[in-house]
Structure formats: structure tokens, C-alpha cells
């Protein structure tokens, strides 16, 4: 015997139960037998009838329209992930996000401020460097000296001007091209029609045969990060561990460089930290 699925109704009831009148700016009226908003309160906030909300919660109505789902998401104060889930259980495709975020979220900014001794860079989903620590600038060079367009790792890997221009590379490490292209492909799927991202792909496609070959493959590529050998004018060659952490809620990538404690590479990194602090 199969159990009827009422994922939509169960989700709506659970989200309604967790809200209070204070959460949504409504006055508290009388004693409440249960926690959460009353059905008539949520219906009023979402602009739908109480009867229709009851049918949705009981599973007697299962295919609300996209505007109704959007109104319910706003009224229930849903996060982006919860809004996506609501669309899915309602039998709808999740709404496509807008433009790629180009600002570092406050929570991420607070995090990297605690990592001041570590070379840390924060990248957007299109791999444009948005923020960095002083240790990053001491290790790799100060990105502030370059215009934002040149702070894009995809351009640097596949379409940066040749070395004979005399400028030091902004990203003097070996980023895995296959992993970078795979991640960029995911970003393009997540932000359909994003003008700047489409232009980046077209530009790099025209400039690099290697990019064209990787873009045409269906493989996901290896992971970003790993051991990196960097030649620095002050400390010479330094071998560091590189890791890339994703923050899905804000769609940024955090790249770090660290060294095994007590090694000559750690001592070199300490020397660069002292330079950055001086």
C-alpha cells in the first residue's frame, strides 16, 4: 500500500508553524493554541484565499501557479534554498537567479578578517577576484594595481597577454584549467543569460584553443587547488597547499594558501606575512 505524497502541504505547514506574528509584522491577537501563524494570516500575507491555502496544505490542490508560489515564498520568509524547494515540490522549475553576485557577503568578510595571516582570495562565480588579504598581496602581488577586468582567473589562465609585455602575472600559480572550465560551465547554467558571463565565455573561446577544447568536453575535470609552486622575488620558490572552498548561499569561492608548520616553506610564508604587516 503506497502512502500519498503531500510534500507541498507538509512543507507549507512546517514553514507556517515556525513563524510568529512578530516575524511578519502582524499584531498578536488573542491566545494561540499552537505556535506559528494562523492559516488566515498567511493567506492574507500571500494574497490568496484561506480555502485555497487549506487545500494546498491538505494535498487537495497540488499545482499552484508560479505567482502563487512566489507570493507564498515571500510571505513565509523563505531562504533561496527553501524557495527552490518550494518550487520543486509544487512541480515547478526553480526561478533562475539574476546576475552573479559581485560583492563579498558580510559573513564571508568577517571570516577572512580572522584569517589575516593566511593568503586568502575571494572569487565570484565567474572567477573574478573580489577581495583578498594582505598576505595574499604579499605572496602573489597586489591586485589593487590592476583594473577589475584583469582580476579574472579565467582570463589569466586562458587569455592573459604574453609574458613579453613585461608585467608580472597577477595569478602566478598553476590553476587547473579543466576544473576551472567545469566550474565556469556550472556557473553559466546557474545564471542563464548573464551578459558579463556570456561575454567572458565568448571572449575566452575566441582567444584560446585550449579553452575551446575543454569547454566542448563533458568531463568535470579535477579539483581546484592542490600543491602550488610559486616563485617569489623575496623568498624564492615556495611550495604551498592551495584549497578552494565554495559558499553556495552566496555563490563565492574562497581560495587559500597554507604551508605545513615547521617546514622551510612555512618559514618563507612567515617572512612574507611580516612583510605584509610592516
- In the predicted model, what is the mean pLDDT of residues 61-78? 88
* Same-domain pairing of 112 and 56: no
* 136-150 tens-digit pLDDT: 999 998 888 888 888
Q: 90 near 63, Cβ under 8 Å?
A: yes
* Residue carrying the nine cell digits 507538509: 10
Q: How far is CA 198 from the centre of its chain?
A: 18
> Would you state the pLDDT for residue 10?
92
> Would you state the pLDDT for residue 80?
77
- When comparing pLDDT for 248 and 132, which is higher? 132
Residue 214, domain extent: 106-277
- In the predicted model, what is the mean pLDDT of residues 92-104? 78
- When comparing pLDDT for 25 and 258, which is higher? 258
Q: Look at 122-126, 224-228, 261-265 and tell me which has the smallest mean pLDDT.
A: 224-228
* Same-domain pairing of 207 and 123: yes
pLDDT of 239 over the 80 cut? yes
> Would you state the pLDDT for residue 241?
92
> Would you state the pLDDT for residue 226?
81
Confidence of residue 159 (pLDDT cuts 50, 70, 90): confident
**pTM for this predicted structure:** 0.67
CATH (domain of 244): 3.30.450.180
How many angstroms separate the CA atoms of 124 and 62, rounded? 37
CB burial readout 86-97, b (16+ within 10 A) else e: bbebbeeeeeee
* Same-domain pairing of 72 and 134: no
* 24-67 tens-digit pLDDT: 777 766 666 667 888 898 898 888 999 999 999 999 988 898 88
Q: Whats the size of the chain, residue-wise?
A: 278
CB burial readout 192-227, b (16+ within 10 A) else e: eebebbeebbebbeeebeebeebbeeeeebeebbee
> Would you state the pLDDT for residue 2?
41
Q: How far is CA 111 from the centre of its chain?
A: 15
> Would you state the pLDDT for residue 97?
65
> Would you state the pLDDT for residue 1?
35
* Same-domain pairing of 15 and 79: yes
Retrieve residue 97's grid coordinates. Answer: 537567479
* Same-domain pairing of 161 and 38: no
* Same-domain pairing of 66 and 192: no
Cβ burial of 262 (10 Å; 0-12, 13-18, 19+) is exposed
* Same-domain pairing of 79 and 111: no
Q: How far is CA 25 from the centre of its chain?
A: 30
* Same-domain pairing of 143 and 204: yes
Q: Is residue 113 part of a domain?
A: yes
Q: Is residue 151 part of a domain?
A: yes
* Same-domain pairing of 115 and 241: yes
* 181-235 tens-digit pLDDT: 988 988 888 787 788 899 999 999 999 999 999 988 866 655 677 888 989 888 8
* Same-domain pairing of 233 and 200: yes
Residues of the chain with pLDDT > 70: what percent? 88
* Same-domain pairing of 243 and 113: yes
pLDDT of 153 over the 70 cut? yes
Of 89, 121, 143, which residue constitutes the final position of a domain?
89
Confidence of residue 3 (pLDDT cuts 50, 70, 90): very low
- In the predicted model, what is the mean pLDDT of residues 83-109? 83
pLDDT of 4 over the 60 cut? no
Count up the domains in the chain and report the number. 2
Q: 249 near 80, Cβ under 8 Å?
A: yes
* Same-domain pairing of 147 and 263: yes
Amino acid at each position: 500500500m503506497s502512502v500519498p505524497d503531500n510534500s507541498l502541504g507538509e512543507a507549507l505547514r512546517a514553514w507556517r508553524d515556525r513563524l510568529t506574528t512578530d516575524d511578519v509584522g502582524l499584531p498578536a491577537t488573542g491566545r494561540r493554541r499552537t505556535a506559528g501563524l494562523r492559516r488566515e494570516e498567511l493567506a492574507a500575507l500571500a494574497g490568496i484565499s484561506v480555502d485555497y491555502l487549506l487545500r494546498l496544505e491538505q494535498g487537495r490542490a497540488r499545482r499552484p501557479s508560479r505567482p502563487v508560489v512566489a507570493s507564498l515564498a515571500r510571505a513565509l520568509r523563505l531562504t533561496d534554498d527553501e524557495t527552490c524547494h518550494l518550487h520543486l515540490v509544487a512541480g515547478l522549475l526553480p526561478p533562475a537567479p539574476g546576475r552573479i553576485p559581485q560583492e563579498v557577503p558580510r559573513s564571508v568578510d568577517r571570516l577572512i578578517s580572522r584569517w589575516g595571516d593566511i593568503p586568502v582570495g575571494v572569487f565570484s562565480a565567474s572567477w573574478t577576484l573580489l577581495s583578498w588579504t594582505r598576505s595574499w598581496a604579499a605572496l602573489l602581488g597586489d591586485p589593487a594595481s590592476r583594473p577589475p577586468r584583469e582580476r579574472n582567473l579565467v582570463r589569466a589562465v586562458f587569455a592573459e597577454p604574453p609574458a613579453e609585455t613585461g608585467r608580472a602575472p597577477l595569478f602566478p600559480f598553476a590553476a587547473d584549467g579543466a576544473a576551472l572550465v567545469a566550474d565556469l560551465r556550472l556557473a553559466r547554467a546557474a545564471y542563464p543569460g548573464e551578459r558579463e558571463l556570456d561575454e567572458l565565455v565568448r571572449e575566452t573561446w575566441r582567444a584560446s584553443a585550449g579553452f575551446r577544447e575543454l569547454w566542448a568536453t563533458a568531463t568535470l575535470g579535477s579539483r581546484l587547488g592542490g600543491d602550488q609552486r610559486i616563485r617569489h622575488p623575496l623568498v624564492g620558490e615556495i611550495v604551498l597547499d592551495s584549497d578552494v572552498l565554495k559558499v553556495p548561499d552566496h555563490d563565492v569561492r574562497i581560495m587559500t594558501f597554507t604551508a605545513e608548520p615547521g617546514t622551510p616553506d612555512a618559514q618563507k610564508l612567515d617572512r612574507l606575512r611580516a612583510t605584509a604587516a610592516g
